[in-house]
A and B are shown apart, each in its own frame.
Chain A
Amino acid sequence: MLTSKTFLKKTKRGNILKIVREHYLRDDIGCGSRICKKCAIINENAILDDKLSSSISKAYVNPHYLIVDTNVVLHQIDVLEEDVLINVIILQTVLEEVKHRSTSIYKRLNDIINNPNRKFYVFVNEHHKDTYIEREPGETANNRNDRAIRVAAKWYDEHLFENQRNISLKKVIRIVLLTGDTDNKEKATQDGIFAASVEDYIYCLKDSKGIEDKLSKQEISYNEDSKEIFPCHLTPVQIHEGIKTGKLLHGSFQASKENFLEGQVNVEGYEKSILIQGYIELNRAVHGDIVALELLPEEQWSAPSEIVLQDDEVDNEEQIVESEIIKPKTVKEKTPTGKIVGIIRRKWRQYCGILQDNILQNSTRHIFVPAEKTIPKIRIETRQAATLIQQRIIVAIDSWSRYSRYPSGHFVRALGKIGDKETENEVLLLEHDVPHSRFSDKVLSYLPKLPWIISDEKVLNNINMFMNCLKQIAKRTDLRHINVCSVDPPGCTDIDDALHCNLLSNGNYEVGVHIADVSHFIKSGTALDEEAALRATTVYLLDKRIDMVPELLSSNLCSLKANEDRFAFSCIWEVTSHAEIVQINFCKSIIRSRAALTYEEAQLIIDDKKQTTVLAESLRNLNNLAKILKKKRIENGALVLASPEIRFYLDSETHDPIEVQAKQIRETNSMVEEFMLLANISVAEKIYEEFPEYAILRRHPCPPPSNFEPLIKAANYLGFEMDTSSNKNLARSLDAAQKKDNPYFNTILRILATRCMLQAVYFNSGMVTKDDFYHYGLAASIYTHFTSPIRRYADILVHRLLAACINADPTYPELLNKKKMNDICHNLNYRNRMAQYAGRASVALHTHMFFREKVQDEEGYILFVRKNALQILIPKYGLEGTLYLAPVKGGEQYVNFIYNEENHTQSYKEIVFHTFDPVIVQLSLDSSNIQHEKLIFKLVKPYIHNFSVPSVKQDTEKSQSNLNLSASEKRKEGDAFSFKSSSKKKKKMSKQ
């Protein structure tokens, strides 16, 4: 069964090593075809059809299987994903090469292979005794692989033929090799194998179903005389040399969101990222690429331009405005500047966007405008432009030639009509990589069967039937006699926490936090668990909630509804009246919530002195304790930060936003929050103590001092000192910065401070030193997430760890696998970040919709003063926008603002704009370009002649109030989600 073969490999690691590895060749690898009788025994999963009625191609008479080479997979994965192509053999040589070259394509290829309907078979040719070939002297690795592919194709052809001796020649199943390499194709043809390029093959399909559009165009021929726009990229060898000698630097390229001719590269070892300015200097780098760059001599260094520039060019060939305005003339503070000379690795992916109107009718060449501002426009070819122009589509980049201003790509798929809410949400979710498909049946199969009843002997006579349930209860502490209640935003259906508080006989309080026991329902290793781990978090859009776990769990079985018996994980403290913890106890429990209150209701009960029920008393106690806890926390240096919080009132039927309001915060919000924090910290300590290597914790790194610069500068303009040396000092100076004439000033400052912060992240305690566990925002030395297992996967992991700590559940292998947990943490962090962005994007989307056909004056504050614009924050909507001071292109300039770089002010005559100044702006939606709506800011107050616009207040006031009225009437159910979403967000933000 085994034949062994050793092969030699040389690697360079300082010195040359000769590595000898074994390579076993086997005779038990099947060909995967159902037609084959020889391989019948060893074919584990023969998937290739034995009865191919006829060829799907016009070019080949014989029915056939396809073999593809590496480049075809790498470039034409979109085509391979089409259902038209079935019965494809993927050679191991190809699979390995793809894996090596691109992880994302490898993943997609695997998805296809795992889909049994597609009939893709992986043939392990490298370990098959007849198809393994050795590299010949002088042969490059690539040529060797090409030869291996041909040898395998040849083998298949002959192997299949042996099985079909008595079939007429025209019906014999053959092999067609798809290759992108002409040389390879020729050689294959010489060997007697059918070979074709993908393009030829696809064009010859009998029923191509429009997949020609998805062909990636690697080479678009340009006229010889067309002008070179970009300099050549260096070859990988040159780049390698350059980096080695220190001449070149490398890092990931981040395009600027505000100026399409600007970007920066984060280079390791450089404190500041390196600035790249100008078309030539950017040299075809796309956001995210790993690039090689050359540092310019210091006299050519520049500073980030203060202008906001968008690529509004309506294409026309290749004239690039490299105007002087790009580069600031007087550069005050130079940052290292460089130019990109080569690309080390492209990080291209698929982009959402729309087609740009084409002036030429019936042209197949179009320009695609991505939704992300950091991505350049993409040139694509399609025949379906007429239908696509109305739609949001997905496009992939294929290449970027030196002769082309834009990269060229190909159409992948359409999402739906522009402006359609569903489509827009879809775009939003796709852009943020949020998994949002329906839960698969396999996932759902792990859900408990309804009716799900918790039972014990008191309720039930028929004990046998419910033995299982009894066992479940045996491990649990029955806390149903305790007066537990939950406090949540209105309309909340996934209640994951509940509280109680009792006065003990010794004068201390017993405080309990009860968290939904999700880990009871989601057992590790199940498809349900895997799906939840992938999703990592529930994503809250304004009008939609993308659940992490199926609704049955999130809104029913796990949700701690009032007057229902529910499984919980309880954390019970005994605290003194000064909120000193005397002892902690964790247990799995069964509880019965007495009431599911809203923040408002809870607040009413607390305030209403007449109410003396047990519930009211315990709420009051909780509230008092929470206040003490909060005080302590703030004394420790916890930060109170702010971010613009708003809520939309949605129309109950159309889900269109009707009204926007900044949201209110009550005492009860902070009451719940304090106890959640307490529970999280207690649990973090416990699991870290028990599993010092495997605890899942959350840390918030201290931001580097440079992060605070904008905050310090901004405060300085107004004469406030910001001490950012520690979180405590920062909190103190934030508290001190009050301005009487500008009540919102402090909030803006806090918003700015929030932006200086780093992201808080989940991590595995075994991978980080104890000193780095610190949570900066909360000033906690150790922290984790325990209290929201319904909407966060991290909490589920923490539940499992805690359950293992108290011997309620056994551990399982993955839970104690550092590497695996680390990977999961990475995913959690990534998904969380994306969920946050998606949430914000959803707000932005609704803001746009809100302003559709509406013009409104609003009060705002200047966040930043730029060279040609003011960055303005509208607190009411939590909206940030740009007020252009320089004229829009083509417009005439009546007012010349003078920009003072020193003080960061813009002035016109006696009117001066400072940072933090209040202004009144008029908001309207520019729908002139239906495909790309923009929110326009216009100045109302202070009034500047020829620049400002008259207020619209007078005319709109009436209709406004009407609207409000109707909105509040409709609110009842319509706002459920909106409220929830923003308040949940609040929790997240404050907890960081």
Chain B
Amino acid sequence: MDQSICINLAVERVNTSVPTREQPCKLFTPGEIIFLQSDFMRGHGTYPEDDVLKASVAGVVEQIGKLISVKPLKNRYNGEVGDVVVGRIIEVTQKRWKVDTNSRLDSILLLSSVNLPGGELRRRSVEDEQMMRKYLIEGDLVSAEVQSIFADGSLSLHTRSFTYGKLSQGILVKVYPALVKRSKTHFHNLPCGASIILGKNGFIWISPTVSDANSSGGFTQNLDQKVLKGDREVIARLRNCILALAASKIPLYSTSILYAYEESEKYQLAELLNPESMLDIAILTQQKIQMMEDF
């Protein structure tokens, strides 16, 4: 290990902000009055007091009809029905798994919300409950979809589709949930040779592309299969790119990740960990995105 380790002094730390063309917009900070009238519907990040609507978080105002909400930059994941998430099993209890999805309460994956082997819709028997640990145990990663939201705000997940299920070999990257942009699909098979699941909760799963898509939403985990070095490098590069973008707060979606990947090619894999090169990638990516938008 003759690699030099670079530790920067606080004063020399790289400013990760990226120049942008966007105009600064009106920001609200907690306690600030958003609207003086009372005919509003209060959304997230707001609260009414003395007939006025005030912001409770620091961020920008979003208005949809009469619904007014303030969107903070960073937040814990606020689940919505239909969101694709990646989560980690943290507890197995009767008839349910508890899943850490980076939301403020642990999410629930009910035994009845998973496709059991054999696939058919059938009543879950006591045997199934006893078998739960066979399927998923603490520490396992799953991809799932938000099925519903409980009264206390915790999420109920399901893996009823074949696309969801236990995750096998790959890397998990955690970013701020707000950075993951909502899109039609969150499952991507990137042309560079890896698959990626962009969980809305900020958990991103990068794995080698699996050729056969017939694994039936299952609980199979093929840990024996060797992933080739080339694939591993691609995966690592993707991870570093995502981190670079996240550090500069650039939204994450397939295009931005791909652009970043392309820009990163000029660097050695290890060089991507330098804050300078991370910033470089972020800036180049940002420019590219803007260019594309201009067209």
A touching B, CB within 8 angstroms = no
Residues of B within 8 A of A (CB): none
